[in-house]
Amino acid sequence: MVEWLLAPIDAGRAHLVDGALAWHGRFMVAAWGLLLPLGVLVARFFKVLPWQDWPRETDNRLWWHAHLWLQYSGGILMLAGLSTLMVGHGWHGIAHPHALLGYLVLALGAVQFAAGWLRGSKGGPTAAILRGDHYDMTSRRRIFEYLHKSLGYIALLLACAAILSGLWLANAPRWMWLVILGWWALLGTMFVILQRQGRAIDTYQAIWGPDLDHPGNLARPIGWSVRRLPLTNPPENQG
202 Cα distance to chain centroid: 16
What is the phi-psi region of residue 142: left when phi exceeds 0, alpha when psi lies from -120 to 50, beta otherwise? alpha
* Rounded distance between C-alpha atoms, residue 227 and residue 208, angstroms: 14
- Model pTM? 0.90
Among the four given CATH numbers 1.10.30, 1.10.3470, 1.20.120, 1.10.10, the one describing domain 16-233: 1.20.120
List pLDDT tens digits, range 96-141: 888 899 999 999 999 999 999 999 999 999 889 999 999 999 999 9
Residue 62 gets which letter from DSSP?
H
CB atoms within 10 A of CB 76: 13
Q: Which residue has the higher pLDDT, 1 or 153?
A: 153
Whether pLDDT at 93 is above 80: no
By the 8 A CB rule, do 145 and 222 touch?
yes
Q: Quick one: average pLDDT of 36-61?
A: 95
List pLDDT tens digits, range 174-200: 999 999 999 999 999 999 999 999 999
